[in-house]
Amino acid sequence: MNTPLLAELTTTGVGGAAHSLVRATTDEQIITTIRAADATGTPLLLVAGGSNLLIDDAGYPGTVLQIATEGVHIGKTLSDGRVRVEIAAGHPWDDVVAQSLAAGLSGLEALSGIPGSAGATPVQNVGAYGSEVAHTFLEATVFDRSTGTVSNFGTAALGFGYRDSLLKRTTTNGSPEFVVLSVSFALEASSQSAPIRYAELARSLGVGVGERAAARAVRETVLALRASKGMVFDPTDRDSCSTGSFFTNPIVPASALASLPADAPNFPVDTPGMVKLSAAWLIDRAGFAKGFGLPGTAGESLGGGRASLSTKHTLAITNRGQASSADILAIARAVRAGVRDRFGIELHNEPLLIGCEL
């Protein structure tokens, strides 16, 4: 059976063919496909926006389920005055943000421009510019593959952490036990944003950290900031042909700061005695500038090379036109080793690696 290259379903544009590909536009199709795969022991890969996957060029030996359900429903006002918004798992995330603001609701504006689908956002507690999904999340409706039933998980049940949740942790051979069918958020009926938590965003808006601004202005500012870093997906901009941030910001014991330069950025986290470092700063200070490439993965001209760090942001590893999964991983390994050698800090990949490893 001929199937499209999985590269066509990802923002990095890397990945071979699947043994079979099913595009599901209803929850019933999603559940039927999962049950059929599980009944025969067929490996299953879920794809929606494809923005957090690096798939091997050998392709995928099982069933690829493309979740393409769509729909945004503005629901009832909750007891605390916030408004429930329910979204189908396959709906493009940035459209969710735009629709919520058009409906006079705020809370998601700092998450503007993030590629991918709504159903993927709670899996790793997607976040940016001081905001994260956990701040406004209400519940997820999921299909439980172990019991064959549909159930709802609230915030407490998902155990959100930094780029982490129960949904991400509960997998078998890289395939999730709980498949998200829809997600719900509780948003404020306000034209004002949630409090601004990120210093760069606050400066750009001309407000102080902790203050509010017009929600639409926050969205426009975030989109501009992300675009300046190649973090708004645009197929014509090779700097955006990536998984976004390839590495998470390391969370380390506060004692580790003693061995780092005094100007190393660090941020508080909920875990006592721990701090969060800037992966981008570590990468840059370890000697990996924007546009860094390797012989065989990037040529003298970035436009003609195959893979490199983004020319706009050191956290993104980009496909310059003809990159393979091996090209992307070669850059990632070099960067990880360089940061480890320079600072003793181990970087960890943020995207899922399918059929390959770092």
- DSSP assignment of 295-320 equals TTTS-SSGGGSSEEE-SS-TT-EEE-
Q: 27: helix, coil or strand? A: helix
Mean pLDDT over 67-94 rounds to: 98
pLDDT at 253: 97
Under a CB-based contact definition with an 8 Å cutoff, are residues 109 and 219 in contact? yes
pLDDT (average), residues 179-188: 98
**Measuring CA to CA, which residue among 103, 110, 99 is closest to residue 205?**
110
Residue 1 has pLDDT above 60, yes or no: no
Selected catalytic residue, list 245, 308, 310, 324: 245
pTM (predicted TM-score): 0.91
Beta bridge partners of 20: 63
Residue 55 has pLDDT above 80, yes or no: yes
Task: From 32, 12, 14, select the one nearest 23 (Cα to Cα).
Answer: 32
Cα angle 321, 325, 326 (rounded to 5 degrees) comes to: 105
Give the H/E segment covering residue 88: strand 83-88
Task: Inform me whether the pLDDT recorded for 353 exceeds 80.
Answer: yes
Q: What is the pLDDT of residue 51?
A: 94
Among residues 70, 86, 177, 350, the one annotated as catalytic is: 350
Q: Is residue 209 pLDDT above 70, yes or no?
A: yes
Q: What is the mean pLDDT of residues 54-61?
A: 95
Helix, strand, coil shares, percent, the chain, to 5 = 30, 30, 45
Q: Is 220 among the residues known to form the active site?
A: no
Element (H, E) at 21: strand 18-24
pLDDT at position 69 over 70: yes
- On the question of pLDDT at 34 being above 80, the answer is yes
Provide the pLDDT for residue 235.
87
Share of the chain above pLDDT 70, in %: 96
Rounded average pLDDT over 184-207: 97
Most trustworthy range by pLDDT among 162-171, 192-201, 297-306: 192-201
pLDDT of residue 299 exceeding 60, the answer is no
Alpha helices in the chain (DSSP H): 27-40, 93-102, 155-158, 166-169, 199-205, 215-228, 279-285, 325-343
Q: What is the pLDDT of residue 46?
A: 96
User: Which H or E run includes 349?
Assistant: none
The burial of 79, by beta-carbon neighbours within 10 Å (0-12 exposed, 13-18 middle, 19 or more buried), is given as exposed
Specify the pLDDT at position 329. 95
Name the maximum alpha-carbon separation found in the chain: 60
Q: What average pLDDT does the segment 162-177 reach?
A: 88
**Marked catalytic residue, from 51, 106, 112, 163:** 163
How many alpha carbons lie under 13 Å from residue 190 in its C-beta half-sphere?
A: 17
> What's the mean pLDDT when you consider all of the chain?
94
Is the CB of residue 213 less than 8 Å from the CB of residue 109? no
Q: What are 114-129's pLDDT values in tens digits?
A: 999 999 999 999 999 9
Q: What integer pLDDT is reported at residue 326 of this predicted model? A: 93
320 is catalytic: no
What is the structure's pLDDT at 297? 62
SS3 for 116?
Answer: coil
Residues 6+ apart with CB under 8 A from 97: 108, 109, 111, 112, 219
Instruction: Answer yes or no: 350 catalytic.
Output: yes
